[in-house]
Structure 1
Amino acid sequence: MDSQAKKLLLQIARKQIEAAVKQEPMPFILCDHSDLQGREGAFVTLRTHGELRGCIGRFISDIPLYQLISELAISSATEDFRFASNRIKLSELTNLEIEISIVSELRPIKNPFDFELGKHGIFIKRGIQIGCLLPQVAVETGWNKAKLLSYCCSGKANLPSDAWKSKDIEIFTFTVEIIEEKDKI
Structure 2
Amino acid sequence: MNSVPKFSLEEGKFLVKLARQSVEYFLKNKKYLPIPHTYPENLNKTVGIFITLSTFPGENLRGCIGYPYAFGPLIELCVSASTKAACEDPRFECVSTKELDNIVFEVTILSPMILLDQNKPFEEQIEIGRDGLLVTCDTYGKSGLLLPQVAVEWGFDKKKFLKEVCRKASLNDNCINDRNCKFYRFESQIFKEVSPNSDIKEEVLNERNI
The 5 A counterparts of 1:43-54 are 43-49=50-56, 50-54=59-63
Is the Cα–Cα contact under 8 Å of residues 20 and 78 in structure 1 kept in the other structure?
Answer: no
Moved over 4 A (4+): none
Q: Which residue of 2 aligns with 1:79?
A: 88
Change (3 A) 1:62 1:167: closer
Q: CA deviation at 1:165?
A: 1.9
Is the Cα–Cα contact under 8 Å of residues 32 and 83 in structure 2 kept in the other structure?
Answer: no
Is the Cα–Cα contact under 8 Å of residues 21 and 77 in structure 1 kept in the other structure?
Answer: no
Change (3 A) 1:95 1:107: same
What CA distance in whole angstroms lies between the structure 2 residues aligned with 1:149 and 1:3?
A: 31
Q: CA deviation at 1:94?
A: 0.6
Q: CA deviation at 1:25?
A: 4.4
Change (3 A) 1:57 1:25: closer
The 5 A counterparts of 1:90-101 are 90-101=97-108
RMSD: 1.6
Secondary structure, counterpart of 1:99 in structure 2: strand
Asked if residue 3 in structure 1 is aligned to residue 12 in structure 2, the reply is no
Gaps of 5+ in 1: none
- State TM-score, norm by structure 1: 0.91
Aligned length in residues? 182
What CA distance in whole angstroms lies between the structure 1 residues aligned with 2:150 and 2:10?
A: 27
Asked if residue 103 in structure 1 is aligned to residue 110 in structure 2, the reply is yes
Asked if residue 121 in structure 1 is aligned to residue 111 in structure 2, the reply is no
The CA deviation string for residues 144-173 of structure 1, in whole angstroms up to 9 with x for no partner, is 22222112112x212112111222221110
Q: Greater CA deviation, 59-68 or 35-44? A: 59-68
What CA distance in whole angstroms lies between the structure 2 residues aligned with 1:106 and 1:27?
A: 29
Is the Cα–Cα contact under 8 Å of residues 26 and 83 in structure 2 kept in the other structure?
Answer: yes
| Corresponding letter in the other structure for 1:12 | L
Equivalent pairs: percent with the same residue? Answer: 31
Gaps of 5+ in 2: 1-6, 202-210
Q: Greater CA deviation, 89-98 or 69-78? A: 89-98
